[in-house]
Amino acid sequence: MFRHLLKQKDHIRHYIFSRHYLLTPLCNMAASTYGENTNNNRLALEKSPYLLQHASNPVNWYPWGRDAFDKAQSEGKPIFLSVGYSTCHWCHVMENESFKNEEISRILNESFVSIKVDREERPDVDQMYMTFIQAATGHGGWPMNVWLTPDLKPIVGGTYFPPEGRYGQPGLKSILLNIAAKWKKDRAAIEGQGSNIMDALKEHTKATVTNGDVMPTDDLPEKCYKVLRQTYDSRKGGFGEAPKFPQPVNLKFLLSVYGQAPFTEQGQTSRDMCKHTLTMMFKGGIWDHVSKGFHRYATDNDWHVPHFEKMLYDQAQLVVVYSEVYQATKEERFATVVKELLEYVNQELSHESGGFYSAQDADSYPSHDSQQKKEGAFYVWKEGDIRAALNDPLPGNSIKTKADVFCRHYNVKPKGNVDLAKDPHGELQGMNVLIEVEEISDTAEHFDLTPNVVEEILTECKIKLSELRNLRPKPHLDSKMITAWNGLMISGLAKASQVFDDPVYKERMLKAVEFVHNYLYDPETGILYRSCYVGDDGEVTQISTPIEGFAKDYAFIIQGLIDAYEASFKDHLIEWAEKLQRKMDELFWDGESGGYFTSRTDDCSVLLKIKDDQDGAEPSTNSIAALNLIRLSSFVNNNNLKEQSRRIFVAFQEQLQSAPHALPEMIKAFMSFQAPGIQVSDDYLGAILKFTFCQF
């Protein structure tokens, strides 16, 4: 969908930037009033960690909902909508610079109705206005800030704005003053502009639907493979240039190519691309070598300097990918990553009731008396601190210490190992981000040790550094538990339990399923909820009016239940999956054109009905749903479900053909759709599945 909108961005920009209603001149007006600080705003009544972070801002924030909409309508004010999430670095920056600023808050409170949205609670709102931002500017990100008419139509927006203009970018204060002045002078024209923009967005989102009944061509997997092969970084792994993201959807597709044709050149190359990428990732700084877990992405081509937040959805998908590449290679280092990754999730992102938290923040205080958080402060190291902690002499060597071994292997430098180009804000000066730059055998040879001894030394050092690190202020934990991401984690545990035949993983998987059923599902209505929360007492709670789940919540939980069934053969799991599939069809299916809308069609606050059509950090709803339908059709013997998956491929035929690399997860489902079915008896099903998951 975004691809179609970007084609038309000049057309949509016409409504935004060619008018004199809003953005020119942005920097010529000065503020003359100052705001009053208040102790708390309405966000103090919310449970979202992100909204609670803004509860003490002097901005008179409202949560997304009828109270805010009615206020904007009755007072005739435009809406300032700000969307982010609790572990977002630049969201923190904008809060500290602007939303704690008395002068900017006064302008917002006098001239606008201000709404804060947690994008992880309301992905539908986020996606609707991100569609507008990307169409208008060609890029997106968070925080996302959009100005709306009282009837919720967008008029202008962007991502991060500094408080004052700099580097050719207008400041938030100037934009607010300019929009407020233009609104008072010519409100009707601006509202007309909002209507024109929304009409343009609606028209062009229709382009994502394919007319007719045309299936994608059989060479679709080949096309996707060729694009990924062309963009593959043969030196450092991954796809494209910096920033480098894990992109599990690409890796899972390539492993499917290998699985279907393991002895062909294409199959071998697909496996090798995954193997190399995953190796470079866990050697790089994107992997936390001390306390385990993957950071969100690397800011450079070498996987060295990460954006330090850790997201549940990354951990969940990478458990699957590392498990599958272990199946393909039988290399123990990949099994070790799975084990350590799940240790991290169990230790840092798990609640005793069975659910999984959302994320750990990128920012934290460098020390307990610090007043300002820094990105990566919890994770980076000064060389002197490492040497002081690891000063034991090497066995049989009174000159060299274990710190010498550790610092060589992880590239620790006296002045830090982060280049200025990788640290534009100077927050990592003099610091080291651990990265493996040589094999253990090379380190062993340098110190005249055996590889086993070096491994023992490195393990001992990491335990000591972990204990030292835990004395630092820990990053903020987003304790919100999101249904879709818990579904991904259930799938990860199911895969690990099968590949490694581990009953502990299976038990944890079933406990997570029980958690979803107990806290995120209403058995009377059959409806999933989007999220739940942990109260101050450590108990799982809900808001008074729970946010109902979106299509992605259903798709990911259904996938998790099917995976859990294949790992345990417990009938109630597949029965619940089938029940949720019927509810998903009832709430989100487009009976006219096929495919699933992101949100319910009866939600009047969502003006733009969108179909999730890109596999990004998370796979798209329609990609996962297509494979769910194929798998369910076999398990419950219902060919209508497989026909429904065919309608998804038809609906997205144009995108699949023109940009196959945007939907690798859907192409993986398409490959499954094309594969001939094999009917087996119940007596042999368990044995065959066990063989399938232990062999490639």
Q: What is the DSSP string of 114-155?
A: EEEEETTT-HHHHHHHHHHHHHHHS---SSEEEEE-TTS-EE
The predicted model gives 385-403 an average pLDDT of: 88
The amino acid at residue 123 is P
Q: What is the pLDDT of residue 362?
A: 92
For residue 478, give the H/E element and its range.
strand 477-478
pLDDT of residue 3: 40
pLDDT of residue 5 exceeding 60, the answer is no
Q: At a CB cut-off of 8 Å and minimum separation 6, what does 276 contact?
A: 234, 237
pLDDT at 204: 66
Tell me the C-alpha to C-alpha distance, in Å, between residue 226 and each of 251, 254, 269, 554: 14, 11, 11, 32
> In angstroms, what is the C-alpha Rg of the chain?
26
**Lowest model confidence (mean pLDDT) among 152-161, 228-237, 416-425, 590-599:** 416-425
Task: Report whether pLDDT(2) > 50.
Answer: no
Provide the residue count of the chain: 696
628 and 558 Cβ atoms separated by less than 8 Å: yes
Domain residue spans of the chain: 2-208, 379-472, 481-694
Taking the C-alpha atoms of residue 308 and residue 361, their distance in angstroms, rounded to an integer, is 7
What is the band of 18 on the pLDDT scale with cuts at 50, 70, 90? very low
| pLDDT, tens digit (0-9, with 9 covering 90-100), for 635-672 | 999 999 999 999 999 999 999 999 999 999 999 999 99
What pLDDT score does 677 carry? 60
Name the pairing type of β-strands 79-84 and 113-118: parallel
pLDDT band at 600 (very low <50, low <70, confident <90, very high): confident
Taken in order 468, 474, 478, 479, the sign of the CA dihedral is positive
**CATH no., domain 481-694:** 1.50.10.20
Instruction: Report the distance separating Cα 681 and Cα 332, nearest Å.
Output: 34
pLDDT of residue 209: 55
Centroid of chain to Cα 422: 22
Cis omega (within 30 of 0) for bond into 473: no
Residue 61 has pLDDT above 80, yes or no: yes
Q: Is the pLDDT of residue 568 over 70?
A: yes
Intrachain domains 2-208 and 481-694 with the same fold: no
- Look at residues 377, 451, 438, 382 and name the one whose alpha carbon lies nearest to residue 410: 438
pLDDT band per the 50, 70, 90 thresholds, residue 39: confident
Confidence at 488, pLDDT banded by 50, 70, 90:
very high
Which residues fall within 8 angstroms of residue 167, CB to CB, at 6 or more apart? none
Q: 208 or 623: whose pLDDT is higher?
A: 623
Q: What whole-number percentage of the chain has pLDDT above 90? A: 78
- Is the pLDDT at 694 greater than 70? The verdict is no
For residue 200, the model assigns a pLDDT of 84
Greatest pairwise CA separation for the chain in angstroms: 83
Average of per-residue pLDDT values in the chain: 89
Q: Whose structure tokens read 């939303």? A: 99
pLDDT of residue 675: 84
Span 501-505, average pLDDT: 97
Helix (H) / strand (E) containing 397:
strand 397-401
**All residues at 6 or more sequence positions from 298 whose CB lies less than 8 Å from its CB, including other chains:** 242, 243, 244, 284, 285, 286, 304, 305, 306, 307
Query: Is the confidence at residue 321, as pLDDT, over 70?
Result: yes
Q: Is the confidence at residue 528, as pLDDT, over 50?
A: yes
Per-residue confidence band for 8, with pLDDT thresholds at 50, 70 and 90: very low
At 228, is the secondary structure helix, strand, or coil?
helix
Choose the weakest-confidence range: 25-39, 313-327, 621-635: 25-39
Residue 26 has pLDDT above 70, yes or no: no
Q: Give the pLDDT of residue 34.
A: 29
The residue whose two tokens read 């694009």 is 227
pLDDT at 7: 42
What is the pLDDT at residue 350?
97
The whole-number pLDDT of residue 33 equals 30
Question: What is the CATH superfamily name and number for domain 2-208?
Answer: Glutaredoxin (3.40.30.10)
Instruction: List, in sequence order, every residue forming a beta bridge with 482; answer none if it has no partner.
Output: 531
Quote the strand ranges of 417-495, DSSP E: 477-478, 481-482
Q: What is the pTM (predicted TM-score) of this model?
A: 0.89
pLDDT given at position 696: 35
Give the pLDDT confidence score for residue 572 in this predicted structure. 97
